[in-house]
Structure 1
Amino acid sequence: MSYSRFAIYFVPPDGPLATFGATWLGWDVILGCDVAQPDVPGLHDITMTPQKYGFHGTLKPPFRLAEGASVEGLIQATANLSATLRPAHCDGLELTTIGRFLALTPRGDLAGLRDVAAGCVRALDPFRAPAPAGELARRRAAGLTSAQEAYLLQWGYPYVMDEFKFHLTLTGKLPEDSIAHWSDAVRQHLPALPTPFAIDQIALCGEREDGRFELLHRYTLSG
């Protein structure tokens, strides 16, 4: 199968959290297949945006391969990188509102997690094709700070390095008056969240022809 873009994600290992994420979003990024969602009115509509990415935390945002770069080279470079990165641990996860969408976010000391993400962004950037003008314009339309603009130009994405905020997305943008309702709905389906929460592996994922991402390889962090 050919892939239009690639990304480095944290994809929860097989277990209750991964199962929850797949069923909540209706897409299993690990198996690359649809999953029946819970019978919650409106759930399909509010998860349409994050569904195609699967349940994940972004470490290096989606990118197209640079001219002359190969998938095989990216696979090997990611394997080499994983051997240099130290696993990161924080106190746990919690349900959070970010803007107008819901996500699970880490709590506690996040320095190690930021180091993992920064390492992925830097080390694999030679494989990233420059972002096209239309994509840059779309990012700028959100209103960027000077630091975010600099990151956009250097790394192709504004929310990296000091602007990075790890999250496992659960919904698209919600009407403000529905956020409390959907927060309650999430809590009714959430499993016990991991305490502590460990980022001890990274996942290379690819965007398929249908626009959905699936897992290609996992790598254990052993630095």
Structure 2
Amino acid sequence: MRYALYFAADAHDPLMQLGNAWLGRDPFTGEALPQPAVAGLTADRVRDLTTDPRRYGFHGTLKAPFSLRGDQTEAALLQACEQFADEIAPFDITGLGVNRLGRFLALTPEREEPGLRAFAGLCVRRFEPFRAPLLDADLERRRNSGLTERQDRHLTRWGYPYIFEEFRFHMTLSSKLENEADMRCLAETAEGYFADVTGRPRACSHFALYTEAERGAPFQVHTVFSLSGCVSPLDAAIAPHSPAPDHPTNEEPA
């Protein structure tokens, strides 16, 4: 079993409903969903181009997938999530947009969002005591993607390279796209498809615990937590974080 803390909302949120259908799977129920038609691509091609993020479920990574340490339990993790949700206040972002992230297509903030960055950093730090060390094979896989020295330090210390000053929030909409025509077709359709939930302010008041029953299995929503505290992520942040890089990273969906 692996766990992950993801930016997500409840099953009725329009963002989640659109994202789940775009990827073709409901992570709340595990059911397959019909995907929207994409001009210039067959339905089979669209399904192929969304294979990787479909397994993870529609989300934004906060604490990347991890196995529990031997001295921790799922019950303790759930209790920690509840305590965290009771402490941290909801916060707003100015809006998401359909953008390219390297060779991936994703929903990303249209500008720097300090509250979202701080919230992700809090998740990394707060739940680190639950994370078992990475397997050697996981370390090797990450390092084969070509990490900077700082990213490698984060990987070694925190189990994931793209955190803190390397963090760039994204809700992945595609597998890695090697074909520019595929990217263009998906992007043009996604811009219209997500129009009702992009380009406008959004209240961020939830996060979710997702689970992976075994390596390679689809991730499922275990529990969605509602932020109900009075401490803003910026006030709760342990340390300041530098702005996000203005260039795409080589980040892979997770």
- TM tier, shorter chain? over 0.9
User: What percent identity do the matched residue pairs reach?
Assistant: 40
- Answering whether residue 190 of structure 2 is matched by residue 186 of structure 1, we say yes
State the partner residue of 2:232.
none
Measured in 1, the distance between the counterparts of 2:223 and 2:213 equals 15
RMSD: 1.5
**Given residue 52 of structure 2, which amino acid in structure 1 is its aligned partner?**
T
Q: Please give the alpha-carbon distance, in whole angstroms, between the structure 1 residues aligned to 2:63 and 2:185.
A: 32
Q: CA deviation at 1:221?
A: 1.5
Within 1, Cα distance between the matches of 2:130 and 2:30? 24
| Equivalence for 1:68 | 71
Give the gaps of 5 or more residues in structure 2. Answer: 230-254
Cα drift, residue 128 of structure 1: 0.5
Residue of structure 1 equivalent to 2:109:
106
For residue 214 of structure 1, give the secondary structure of its aligned residue in structure 2.
Answer: strand
Determine the structure 2 residue equivalent to 1:222.
228
**Separation of aligned partners in 1, 2:33 and 2:97:** 24
State the AA in 2 paired with 1:211: A
- 1:50 partner SS: helix
In 2, Cα distance between the equivalents of 1:181 and 1:79?
41
Counterpart of 1:21 in structure 2: which amino acid?
G
Q: Tell me how far 1:191 sits from its aligned partner.
A: 4.1
Alignment partner of 1:8 out of 2, 5, 21: 5
Distance (whole Å) between structure 2 residues aligned to residue 121 and residue 35 of structure 1: 31
Contact 1:97 1:103 in 2 (8 A): yes
TM-score by length of 1: 0.93
Q: Is the 8 A contact 1:86 1:116 kept in 2?
A: no
The 1-side partners of 2:20 and 2:95 are apart by 20
Whichever structure has more strand as a proportion of its residues is 1
Structure 2 match to 1:37 = 35
Cα distance per residue 1:128-159 (max 9 Å; x no partner): 00000110011111111111111111100000
Q: 1:83 offset after TM fit, Å?
A: 1.9
Deviations 1:34-87 (A, max 9, x none): 212234411101000110111111110000111121110100011111222232
1:106: Cα distance to partner? 1.2
**Residue type matched to 1:212 in 2?**
P
Aligned counterparts, 1:1-223, within 5 A: 4-13=1-10, 14-40=12-38, 41=42, 42-178=45-181, 179-194=183-198, 195-209=200-214, 211-223=217-229
TM-score between both structures, scaled by the size of structure 2: 0.82
Answer yes or no: is the 8 Å Cα contact 2:27–2:220 preserved in 1: yes
Asked if the contact 2:9/2:208 (under 8 Å) is kept, the reply is: no
